[in-house]
Amino acid sequence: MAFCLLVFLILTSIGRENVVAHGSFTSLTCNFPAIFNFGDSNSDTGGGSAAFCAVPPPNGETFFGKPSGRFCDGRLIIDFIVEHLGLPYLSAYLDAVGADFRNAYDVNFSTFVSCSENISAFKDNLPKPEDFSKALYTFDIGQNDLTYGFQHTTEDQVNASIPDMLDHFSTALQLLYKEGARAFWIHNTGPIGCLPYSVIYYPSKSGNVDQNGCVNPQNEVAQAFNHQLKERLTWLTTQLPHSVLTYVDLYSAKYALISDAKRQGFVNPLKFCCGSYYGHHVDCGKRVTINGTVYGNPCTNPSAHISWDGIHYSQAANKWIANNIISGSLSNPPVAINQSCYINENLV
């Protein structure tokens, strides 16, 4: 994570605005001036494209009409969050100095690329220093760390590595706090064992799958990660007295959608729209003809699929999930995202 970018900023206390009393209750709207997102490709709005290879079509076809740096046919959960808060879509910080960072900002990689060429020409696109302490800091973490472990070690070894992962996360969050960040909206990791990719490549054994066809051992590790993440955030609350740490149970939202896919209008949640892993690994955006069969074309109706490419969720699924988390019903404390700069002591 590119925390070094924040070191030079002058930061103040968190803003709490629009307090309206209703009897014995208080309704508060935070009016975040910006969002700063830290995460993997589930919330990357272009950092990967800028740093490595551009995300190819048909990614972006449903909403943007062209690739938008997102591994999705359209919008991600973070996009629906910024829409809900009335902010523009995130600019990736690696996307060039000319990108618009005034309202939202996506941090996906640990290398900050500095640029010294005529930065004053772009000063109007940079965030105001006073906005950093009033901004919402969102995190979507865990999937890459756990998946890498599943691919190279055993579930037991991945389980044993979770405290170390969370140590690094804690250090990063404490650094942000030290530089002035106060409001944190933190997603736990989803049911990795329900990703079509995981189901296809995991060795099939009796008792390894649940009633939805998801890989039980991988989901159990994801749940262990989430349990320890929640405990760590409880501890961090005591260490960072002026912080507002909201733990968001993304796992439950995603698993609920997968479990109720048909009734919600989706096809089998273990099917995906773009690319191929059956017999021939063809990434979404690539086309390969083998023995007269073309692999890699997208499906005709991405909105009917929960999974876009076997790893990432479709826009339709992301919208459903976002609608089920922004209200705060799956959060601890249970506050809506537009009130997550404020903690009601009765909810803690």
Catalytically annotated residues: 41, 309, 312
Q: What is d(CA 194, CA 229) in angstroms, rounded to the nearest whole number?
A: 20
Contact 335, 136 (CB under 8 A): no
CA distance 331 to 255: 15
- 321, two tokens: 């999930």
Find where tokens 């260490």 sit: 239
- What amino acid occupies position 314? S
State the DSSP code for 282.
Answer: B
Token pair listed for 70: 């997102």
Report the C-alpha gap between 50 and 69 in whole angstroms: 8
Provide the residue type at 215 as one letter. Answer: V
How many CA atoms does the CB half-sphere of 184 hold within 13 Å?
31
Tell me, rounded to whole angstroms, the distance of Cα 88 from its chain centroid. Answer: 17
- 3-state class (DSSP) for residue 139: strand
Alpha carbons 149 and 156: distance in angstroms, whole number: 10
8 A C-beta contact, residue 219 and residue 193: yes
Interstrand relation of 183-187 and 136-140 (parallel, antiparallel or unpaired): parallel
* Pair 35, 81: CB distance under 8 Å: yes
Instruction: Determine the Cα–Cα distance for residues 94 and 114; give it in Å rounded to an integer.
Output: 9
Which residue has 């020409």 as its token pair? 121
